[in-house]
Amino acid sequence: MIFDPLLPDFNFYDGEETVTGGLNYYGAKLGNIFSTAFELETASKDLCLRFKQTWTDNMTLAETPVVEPYSGPNYTKNTFSPDLDKFRMDSLNKDTIALLSRRAFEVATSTPGVNVYLNDKPLPINNFKEYLDLCLKGKVDCLGAQLKCVFEAVNERWDIAVAVSEHGFQQISLANKCCTTKGGRHVDYITER
């Protein structure tokens, strides 16, 4: 349902208020659609099963899923080969790689307790505070002191931090686990106080 088919066979409740980001299950499917090969592997410690399925040719061909006994830890692994022709590219450029890498860090930031890997290497963060510390690493104030943020986990939905900036207002924000590079009402709510 999450990765295939394109349109699920149930209705969405447009009038229902939600607190998540996304476009009715298109997110993961778009990664599949724009890939020449897309592999999903997920395992459940509780069910003692591992599921693996591969799609090719921009999600038009789906291999038969493989479900097998499993006795290790829970995990989900997604491997894909972007269809570079669709993006008029011969290879991934530095900016695209940086954007994909940043998104992996954002996923690690917004899923505490989940180990996120990028290119088979564990990411060194597990929450918003650690993400901010990483963003500030190596940055110094006008006196040469390492920049630090004042951080507060207000509740399970709000983490807020403030740091000194010598270059005007800057913000790093996520809303509903999605990066909001231009800020938004949640940022305005804090800055206007």
Q: What pLDDT is attached to residue 13?
A: 54
Give whole-number Cα distances, 153 to 18, 103, 113, 127, 130, in Å: 22, 22, 16, 10, 12
Q: Where are the domains of the chain?
A: 1-87, 92-192
Q: What pLDDT is attached to residue 22?
A: 55
Which ranges of the chain have pLDDT less than 70? 1-25
Q: If 0-12 CB within 10 Å is exposed, 13-18 middle and 19+ buried, where does residue 180 land? A: middle
Q: What pLDDT is attached to residue 176?
A: 75
Q: What pLDDT is attached to residue 164?
A: 86
Q: What pLDDT is attached to residue 192?
A: 87
Q: What pLDDT is attached to residue 16?
A: 60
Q: What pLDDT is attached to residue 18?
A: 56
Provide the total of helices (H) and of strands (E) in the chain, helices listed first: 4, 11
From first CA to last CA, the distance across the chain in angstroms is 42
**How do residues 156-177 score in pLDDT, each as one tens digit?**
888 888 888 878 888 888 887 7
Q: What pLDDT is attached to residue 79?
A: 92
Q: What pLDDT is attached to residue 4?
A: 63
- Secondary structure percentages of the chain, helix, strand, coil, to 5: 25, 25, 50
